[in-house]
């Protein structure tokens, strides 16, 4: 949700800021802007549209200077126009700032500021910050920012410059991710590490309440009482290639194709063949704590919520512990039941999703131990959780999540295995699961070899206005995820349903124009799913079946059938989800959609 970047140093700032914005564009892409400090004060250029539009404009109208801030926006308050784009100014033109987050008391602040004579030029909540800083007392810009923020309720990752104090950026964090990039005689502020990786691997993750002050010669972090805070400098371990297209036309396709490696990375060093269990060092869950677990609550959003549903099947099956899976946005506002023995697991690719973070905090406040299953190292959920599992899937840039989903499932299976082995799952069964997990990367490669056939399916069905996705058991969440992928990137209406539940409603939609995608690998409910196919066939629906090797021929029922490799039923979602990702991808490409930046979406939803 909105990307911010800032630079102070000795180089020309504009190209660095534009490149940073390009890398942050997955966070929002409806408008963009930049403020550059030069001898004549702060020069601002902002407009509606993507970062490349801003870049073209700066090609004609260059802005030179060695410090600046920039922003790519995902609109919350005010339409995505050039006027509402960041940076925002105060009345005098002294202040320019970029903001990620929401100022919740913006209406009241605005009314008060207008009564005092401030003139607002935008519809945004952010503009209130510029006017508050304009009025705030203090000898330095950081003093004024601290004083202004005392009036603010809400969330922010903020970078502020003042024309009167050239070469300085003041940064503040409350609830929205911000990190500093540490270079030699140059410093950066950014929403995430991808924006600064080209220049430095050393980053400082700020905590809520931190204020950072950057100049070309030094940086320091203080709290709101101006006391210096010591923050570790971390090393970013992934390299630039991980955030480049590497010859693929889209990040989504690159990330789908990376899955043999990403699944391998999630498993690496964690399988204990001899003991039939998993080693999960970051879990911080000693055997006594495992024994105390009476229920598990999963909180997540979007695709991560779907992997949580897969996890429910897997963990209940392997451990006997009841698992409930909650939309984080709903859970956080429900009465928290302080039941002893509750373990809460927050699942999040980004580790920054606001609702998931708050649901995790609410669970902790009610006495629960909290774990994070997170991809982005150093993200807020990862840092606040008591322990957890990193996916190690590398940066996921495509807005539609793919490789994170399969890695989340693998992580959840390892967690189920680890807990199960402590609670009665026998060693032999454990070894079987470990062996099958170890085979997965190779099976994922074989599944990806189906791509030409999936593409042919896409060509056949790309013009259909509606799709139904059906599955049962551990593959019902895969049907939900397949439908989500399609609607996210191709804008085709798609619904996922439990296959048997279809007859309680969606069956009314079925006719020759309705493709019905069945997820039906070999498992205990396979024959039941075949019966559901018959119900569709009897009503003239078009059936696309994703089944697995070892299952019988479905050609009497299905218009098309594709087979993924066979594996344990509990692991099958890792394979069955892949052709659905490819189907959504190819349909979206055929329909001319912007696959990596679908309309209205953002990858990292840091507002509630």
List the catalytic residues. 2, 603
Q: Is 73 in contact with 32 (CB distance < 8 Å)?
A: yes
Please report how close the Cβ of residue 375 comes to ligand G6P at its closest, in angstroms: 8
Instruction: Pick the closer one to ligand G6P by CB: 401 or 577.
Output: 401
Q: Alpha-carbon distance 226 to 185, whole Å? A: 24
Q: Per rule CB under 6 A, is residue 601 in the interface with ligand G6P?
A: yes
Name the residue nearer to ligand G6P (CB basis): 37 or 353: 353
Q: Which of residues 386-425 bind ligand G6P (CB under 6 A)?
A: 399-401
- Per DSSP, what are the bridge partners of residue 300? 327
DSSP class of residue 565 equals P
Task: Of 99, 79, 80, 74, give the one whose Cα is nearest residue 89.
Answer: 99
Q: Which of 351, 271, 263, 334 is nearest to 297 (CA)?
A: 334
Q: Which stretch binds ligand G6P (CB under 6 A): 52-60, 112-120, 301-309, 537-545?
A: 301-309
In the list 43, 122, 353, 572, the residue contacting ligand G6P (rule: CB under 6 A) is 353
Q: In sequence order, which residues have a C-beta less than 8 Å from that of residue 166 and are 6 or more positions away?
A: 37, 67
Distance in Å, CB of 387 to ligand G6P, minimum: 18
**Distance, CA of 420 to CA of 57 (rounded, Å):** 59
**Interacting residues of 8 by C-beta distance below 8 A, sequence separation 6+:** 66, 67, 167, 168, 169, 186, 187, 214, 215, 216
Q: Is the dihedral of CA 591, 592, 595, 600 positive or negative?
A: negative
- Given a contact cutoff of 8 angstroms between Cβ atoms, the answer to whether 155 and 606 are in contact is yes
Is residue 348 at the binding interface for ligand G6P, with CB under 6 A as the rule?
A: yes
Q: Is 350 in the site for ligand G6P (CB under 6 A)?
A: yes
262 lines the binding site for ligand G6P (CB under 6 A): no
> What is the closest distance, in whole angstroms, from the C-beta atom of residue 213 to ligand G6P in the complex?
30
| Binding residue (CB under 6 A) for ligand G6P from 301, 345, 362, 385 | 301
Q: Which stretch binds ligand G6P (CB under 6 A): 165-173, 342-350, 467-475, 586-594?
A: 342-350
Nearer to ligand G6P, 569 or 573 (CB): 573
The Cα–Cα gap between 488 and 399 comes to: 9
Separation CA 370–CA 357 (nearest Å) = 11
CB of 583 to ligand G6P, least distance (A): 17
605 in contact with ligand G6P (CB under 6 A) = yes
Check binding of 560 to ligand G6P (CB under 6 A).
no
Please state, in angstroms and as integers, the Cα–Cα distance from residue 519 to each residue in 495, 528, 530, following that order: 13, 12, 10
Angle at the Cα of 443 (from 441 to 447), degrees rounded to 5? 115
Q: Which is nearer to ligand G6P, 272 or 601 (CB)?
A: 601
Distance CA(523)–CA(530), nearest Å, equals: 12
What is the closest distance, in whole angstroms, from the C-beta atom of residue 309 to ligand G6P in the complex?
Answer: 13
# residues contacting ligand G6P (CB under 6 A)? 16
Least separation in angstroms between CB 304 and ligand G6P:
4
Residue 304 makes contact with ligand G6P by CB under 6 A: yes
**Site track 480-519 with ligand G6P (rule: CB under 6 A), x = hit:** ----------------------------------------
Provide the total of helices (H) and of strands (E) in the chain, helices listed first. Answer: 18, 27
Shortest reach from residue 482's CB to ligand G6P, in Å = 14
Our CB check for ligand G6P shows the closer of 305 and 418 to be 305
The first and second tokens of residue 329, run together, are: 């946005």
Under the rule (CB under 6 A), what is the footprint of ligand G6P?
301-304, 348-350, 353, 356, 399-401, 601, 603-605
């Amino acid at each position: 949700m909105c990307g911010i970047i800032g630079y102070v140093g000795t180089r020309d700032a504009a190209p660095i800021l534009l490149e940073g914005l390009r890398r942050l564009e997955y966070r929002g892409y409806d408008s963009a802007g930049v403020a550059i400090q030069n001898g004549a004060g702060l020069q601002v250029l902002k407009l509606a549209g993507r970062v490349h539009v801003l870049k073209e404009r700066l090609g004609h109208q260059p802005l030179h200077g060695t410090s600046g801030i920039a922003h790519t926006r995902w609109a919350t308050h005010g339409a995505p126009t050039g006027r509402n784009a960041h940076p925002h100014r105060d009345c005098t033109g002294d202040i320019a700032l970029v903001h990620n987050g929401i100022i919740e008391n913006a209406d009241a602040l605005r009314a008060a500021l207008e009564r005092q004579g401030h003139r607002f030029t935008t519809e945004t909540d952010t503009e209130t910050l510029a006017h508050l800083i304009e009025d705030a007392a203090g000898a330095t810009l950081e003093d004024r920012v601290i004083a202004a923020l005392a009036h603010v309720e809400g969330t922010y990752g903020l970078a502020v410059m003042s024309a009167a104090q050239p070469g300085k950026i003041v940064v503040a964090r409350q609830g929205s991710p911000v990190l500093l990039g540490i270079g030699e005689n140059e410093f950066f502020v950014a929403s995430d590490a991808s924006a600064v990786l080209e220049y430095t691997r050393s980053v400082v993750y700020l905590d809520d309440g931190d204020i950072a002050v950057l100049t070309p010669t030094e940086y320091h972090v203080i709290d709101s009482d101006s006391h210096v805070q010591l923050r570790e400098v971390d090393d970013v371990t992934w390299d630039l290639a991980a955030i480049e297209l590497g010859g693929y036309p889209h990040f989504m396709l690159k990330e789908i194709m990376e899955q043999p490696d990403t699944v391998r990375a999630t498993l690496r060093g964690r399988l204990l063949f001899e003991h039939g269990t998993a080693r999960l060092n970051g879990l911080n869950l000693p055997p006594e704590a495992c024994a105390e677990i009476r229920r598990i609550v999963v909180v997540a959003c979007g695709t991560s919520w779907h992997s949580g549903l897969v996890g429910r099947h897997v963990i209940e099956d392997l451990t006997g512990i009841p698992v409930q899976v909650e939309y984080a946005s709903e859970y956080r506002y429900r009465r928290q039941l302080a039941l002893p023995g509750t373990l809460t697991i927050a699942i999040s690719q980004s580790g920054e999703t606001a609702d998931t973070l708050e649901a995790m905090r609410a669970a902790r406040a009610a006495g629960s131990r909290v774990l994070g299953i997170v991809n982005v190292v150093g993200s807020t959920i990862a840092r606040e959780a008591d322990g957890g599992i990193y996916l190690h899937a590398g940066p996921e840039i495509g807005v539609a999540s793919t490789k994170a989903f399969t890695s989340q499932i693998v992580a959840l299976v390892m967690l189920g295995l680890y807990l199960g082995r402590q609670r009665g799952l026998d060693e032999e069964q454990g070894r079987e699961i470990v062996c099958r997990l170890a085979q997965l990367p190779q099976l994922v490669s074989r599944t990806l070899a189906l791509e030409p056939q999936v593409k042919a399916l896409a060509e056949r069905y790309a013009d259909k206005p509606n799709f139904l996705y059906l599955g049962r058991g551990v593959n019902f969440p895969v049907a939900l995820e397949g439908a989500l992928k399609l609607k996210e990137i191709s804008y085709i209406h798609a619904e996922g349903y439990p296959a048997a539940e279809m007859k309680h409603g969606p069956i009314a939609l079925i006719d020759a124009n309705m493709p019905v995608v069945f997820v039906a690998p070999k498992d205990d409910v396979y024959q039941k799913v075949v019966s559901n196919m018959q119900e569709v066939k009897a009503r003239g629906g078009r059936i696309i079946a994703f089944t697995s090797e070892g299952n019988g021929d479905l050609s009497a029922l299905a218009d098309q059938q594709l087979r993924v490799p066979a594996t344990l039923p509990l692991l099958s979602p890792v394979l069955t989800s892949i052709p659905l990702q490819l189907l959504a991808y190819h349909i979206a490409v055929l329909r001319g959609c912007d696959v990596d930046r679908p309309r209205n979406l953002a990858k990292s939803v840091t507002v509630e």
